Structure 1
Amino acid sequence: MMRSCHAATTYKADMTSDWVESYFTTPPTHPAGTLFHYDTSAPHTLCALVEKLTGMDMLDYLKEKLSPLTLSACSYMLKDPFGVSMGGTGLVALPMDLLKFGFFLLHRGNVCGKQLLPASYLDMAVSDLSATCVTAPLPSEAQGYGMQFWRGERNNYVCYGMGGQFIIVFPDCGLICATTADTQSIAGGNQQIYDALYEEILPAIGNTPLPETPETGRLLSYTLDSLRLAPLPQTALSADIQKTARMINGKNFHVQTTPSAFECFSLQFDPEETASGSPTGGSLSFVLKKQACTVVFGIGQLRTGSFPLYHLNYAASGAWLSDGTFYIKAHIIDSYVGCVQFQLAFKENSLTVFLRKKEESLFQEFDGHLYCT
């Protein structure tokens, strides 16, 4: 029902302190059981309770109880810094695992003739138990909330994962949709997924299966094989931008903002150029927490690497923006999902850096403004 006494996730105030403890020591904002506020620390605490009472990791416990679903062996759960499975945001699984759990829900807990949970309990869990219309930023999130399930706009219900990882169940037509995405940096991105389903998929559902044809199979395979992360779009480089690029290329700028864990920044472009005269890519170097760090990026293409300090795979591209600032976007493509963005504004002999991260638990250093000379 998500009606705890907290209006926000408690452990995010200090992620170096015990996450579960924060749920019990953070002063309440309102009486428990009264109002809906989405609080990721609540399911995280529930997960800690399950692990404490069973003596098992949360996912091992779930796989045991849901064994007829034969969930994949490669699925796992991330853990918080204190060894507790991240019950609010840490499950990593295959799309087929999501579909199988959706099958379990659609059939009200019955799998291959075995009733794994009482149907009446699941009916209540997916029903509208808490009003969400006041806090919801999107229509898809304003339809109510059950027991860890969101209600949808078409009498559907949703397992609502971070950044568009969804299991969407439509009981009226027997449809299960599993999606994987990263919408964290896209305003209204989750609603785009819902609207695509409502406008493109639901109207095409009939009472009889569609015939399979080689042509549609080839088209589907081609579409799936063509899916790629897109690099940042490029704009024509004005004479002023080209002059700025030459002036700042490889120059070291020292951070003046205090306090800061960053010491300096340097933007370096490749000597190779594309047919349009732009560099093929480059690198952003900086010193963070006394460590030399580098993020490589492509221009008009993506380049991959291991993100400094966190050792997570990323794919990054860069582009000059119309206002003469240089923008780098690094997609995190690992067990954690999100992006880290850098906007670099060069003016005379100074550099202003705007750092912005879109990720649930990490990269706190990469948020804010820095002034450098």
Structure 2
Amino acid sequence: MLLRHGHVIAEGWWAPYRSDIPHALYSMSKSFVSTAIGFAEAEGLLSLDDRIVDLFPEELPETVSENLYVLNIRHLLMMATGHASGVDFWACADGNWVRYFLETPIEHVPGTYFAYNTCATYMLCAIINRVTGQSIDDFLEQRLFVPLDLSKVTWDVCPRGIAYGGMNFTLTNEDIAKFGQLYLQRGEWNGKQLLPASWIDEATAYHVSNGDDGDNDWTHGYGYQFWRCRHNSYRADGAFGQFSLVMPEQDVVLAVFSGTEYKHELVSSVWETLLPGISEGILDPDETAYQELGDRLKDLRIDVRLEETHSKVERLIQDRFYALESNREHIERISLLFDNGEAALAIRKNALDQSIRLGRGFWVMNDLSGSEQDKAMKVAGSFRWREDATLEINLACVEISFRYRLVCRFEEERVELDFSANLYWDWLPQEGVLIQGHCR
């Protein structure tokens, strides 16, 4: 979604993704936590110079180091806590993430060393809880979400009920466009100053160095949970290409959800393609170009092209259960039931049974129930025959950035399943998992 001068200029979603389905922000949520701190400071509930040791005296280690003693809220916002790397709160055994953070050694003087640290964002949420007596979602509800008419959300929480802050938060594309527009307008919304303009300026300014590669938008300095980037712009940024990019000099906001490992190339394309097309003056009307753009945006979709419409193998494998050998993806068995233009995939994964409808060359949306560990989610499914005995199944988890492909090769009583994904959390390229199975 592209906004200029406060108006939507262009918007489009690649089907099966839709404008009305909230999408994971990943670390873009950090900028919302920063905004909560801005509200709290404006209301006199805290100062950015407040020391963390004073806010959580009951959680301090026996020995308070000099670096921990001087650590303050501003350092948390800057990702300059002094830790050599991010604090891994998943390693905390007793669920007290605040104490775990405070016990983790701080190697550098706070404010002098940038290290991306999601636990620092968590600590900001803990501070909001401490100084307001509210969770961050309750605190932001009337201050941000209601005035901007943002989607109703809930934040995942730690074992002690404090929001993660730096992840596990979803909004729509329009929501993050509004958020960027609020910052572009320096805190003003519908004639009312929601946040002080001074906070907007400070939060998005350069506060700490994160590198010196001029062509890399991850090395142009860091603000208060906002990334500085080229052309005097800044962005709220999340894993796999989620961002709300604010370009003050051009009066532009660009809101994007993606599923890509190539975040650098994605942001670079804004400077190489979009920026040169932004003029200062008013363009003459061009109805032909406007219609072409509208048609292109309306027809965006991830194609699942049919190579073979049917296969004689369908009748042979109909409703058979294939038990799979032990594998990394924990897929235990699959079966397929074909019915005219659709198929139903029954799959057991992590001891959870799911039935997913698949369209023959088109996408079908499913609402899948969740396990005790996982939330329910929307998954779009499709299938096609590559050749007579090779079936390709595509699954798009439309609320997150992940898509999965299962290529099933059938031979008599056996199946060979090649499982692959568009992304992996460990950031390293991985080949698909080859899994053997037999009919039961």
* 2:217 alignment partner in structure 1: 140
Indicate which of 84, 88, 112 corresponds to 1:10.
88
Give CA-to-partner distance per residue, 1:56-76, whole Å, 9 cap, x none. 232442355559x92115342
Equivalent pairs counted in the alignment come to: 345
Query: What amino acid maps onto 1:204 in structure 2?
Result: G
Distance 2:342 2:202 in 1: 54
Structure 1 residues 192 and 356: CA distance shift in structure 2, 3 A: same
Q: Does 1:337 align with 2:409?
A: no
Query: What amino acid maps onto 1:337 in structure 2?
Result: I
* 1:364 alignment partner in structure 2: none
Distance 1:74 1:313 in 2: 17
TM-score in terms of structure 2 length:
0.62
Structure 1 residues 355 and 216: CA distance shift in structure 2, 3 A: closer
* 2:73 alignment partner in structure 1: none
1:303 CA drift (Å): 1.3
Query: What amino acid maps onto 1:122 in structure 2?
Result: D
Indicate which of 361, 364, 367 corresponds to 1:306.
367
Query: What amino acid maps onto 1:201 in structure 2?
Result: L
Give CA-to-partner distance per residue, 1:15-62, whole Å, 9 cap, x none. x98484596389669657465443333323322321232122324423
Within a 5 Å distance, the mapping from 1:217-366 to structure 2 comes to: 218-228=291-301, 230-235=302-307, 248-257=317-326, 262-266=331-335, 268=336, 270=338, 272=340, 280-309=341-370, 310-320=375-385, 326-333=391-398, 336-346=399-409, 349-352=414-417, 354=419, 356=421, 358=423
1:302 CA drift (Å): 0.6
8 Å Cα contact 2:326/2:332 also seen in 1: no
8 Å Cα contact 2:343/2:359 also seen in 1: yes
Any gaps of 5 or more consecutive residues in structure 2? Answer: 1-77, 426-431
Structure 1 residues 127 and 208: CA distance shift in structure 2, 3 A: same
Query: What amino acid maps onto 2:148 in structure 1?
Result: L
Q: Does 1:130 align with 2:195?
A: no
8 Å Cα contact 2:304/2:382 also seen in 1: yes
Q: What is the root-mean-square deviation in Å for CA atoms of aligned residues?
A: 4.4
Distance 1:193 1:258 in 2: 33
8 Å Cα contact 1:284/1:295 also seen in 2: yes
Q: Does 1:178 align with 2:241?
A: no
Distance 1:19 1:300 in 2: 49
Structure 1 residues 93 and 210: CA distance shift in structure 2, 3 A: farther
Distance 2:102 2:329 in 1: 29
Query: What amino acid maps onto 2:393 in structure 1?
Result: I
8 Å Cα contact 2:318/2:337 also seen in 1: yes
Distance 2:151 2:182 in 1: 20
8 Å Cα contact 2:240/2:261 also seen in 1: no
Q: Does 1:197 align with 2:270?
A: yes
Q: Does 1:52 align with 2:126?
A: no
Q: Which has the higher contact order (CA 8 A, sep 6+)?
A: 2
* 1:156 alignment partner in structure 2: 233
8 Å Cα contact 1:152/1:158 also seen in 2: yes
Q: Secondary structure at the match of 2:131?
A: helix
8 Å Cα contact 2:204/2:234 also seen in 1: no
Structure 1 residues 221 and 86: CA distance shift in structure 2, 3 A: farther
Query: What amino acid maps onto 2:326 in structure 1?
Result: T
Any gaps of 5 or more consecutive residues in structure 1? Answer: 273-279, 361-366
Give CA-to-partner distance per residue, 1:168-206, whole Å, 9 cap, x none. 122333x222323232xx331x34542443233321222
Q: Secondary structure at the match of 1:143?
A: coil
8 Å Cα contact 1:151/1:157 also seen in 2: yes
Distance 2:305 2:299 in 1: 18
Indicate which of 232, 238, 245 corresponds to 1:168.
245
Q: Percent identity?
A: 21
Distance 1:321 1:126 in 2: 52
8 Å Cα contact 2:380/2:397 also seen in 1: yes
Give CA-to-partner distance per residue, 1:86-138, whole Å, 9 cap, x none. 4213444454543443344335446658483362773464315131469x9x9
1:159 CA drift (Å): 1.0
Give CA-to-partner distance per residue, 1:330-365, whole Å, 9 cap, x none. 2223xx4233414345475353453648598xxxxx
Distance 1:327 1:39 in 2: 39
Structure 1 residues 253 and 23: CA distance shift in structure 2, 3 A: farther
Q: Secondary structure at the match of 2:217?
A: helix
8 Å Cα contact 1:337/1:359 also seen in 2: no
Distance 1:58 1:120 in 2: 18
1:301 CA drift (Å): 0.8
Query: What amino acid maps onto 2:344 in structure 1?
Result: S
Structure 1 residues 118 and 172: CA distance shift in structure 2, 3 A: closer
Q: Please, which moves more after superposition, 81-90 or 41-50?
A: 81-90
Give CA-to-partner distance per residue, 1:206-264, whole Å, 9 cap, x none. 22233556656555544443334x24344469xxx957766655432223328986432
1:155 CA drift (Å): 2.4
Query: What amino acid maps onto 1:206 in structure 2?
Result: S
8 Å Cα contact 2:226/2:235 also seen in 1: yes
